[in-house]
Structure 1
């Protein structure tokens, strides 16, 4: 995939997140934030982290799981239940999920479907 196609979503969602931070008035605490403020901040942050990780990892499922773990750790931090036990359990669960979903090997992509001979050769 060309580099521009992979960098464009990062720039796009980075711009959206910057616009959200610049324009939306932040709440005093997470408890009094409206659903709109929560969704408008966390969704672009999630997508930005996802596409940044996907630039380097180049595997959709792994970058999704790692981004989900980072967002989960940030949400735990904002809810003030961030302690060593929750951090260790979250990191271990993310590591186990990443190890479970391995990147498929190249040989599985080809060879299963027989090649169709060209019409020119059959004449």
Structure 2
């Protein structure tokens, strides 16, 4: 892909919001198994949420996207407070206050996103940010 030298690859994300698509899970399992067989140290990020991850549907991390109103974004500041600390870790790769609350940017939208990020920071041990631009 034009990179001058080999580089260390620590993570691979498979999919982007396709978990509900009929083809995703079967293909995910095939890719997961093939990648882990050849590169066992690479961490696999699933686009499915934590509730679907199991020994049959394995993942090292799962990707979370949050797009919502400012009021709901404020409430999501505690989104991970009661998440079990074992098992796959979450990575929040996309978030934004959207709709009428966002406009061209409002103080309320900015405060809601800041509150959400404070909740992520409070639960930072859930997130693996090494090598990822997660927020």
Higher helix share: 1
TM-score, normalised to structure 2, is: 0.28
Higher strand share: 2
- Structure whose CA Rg is larger: 1
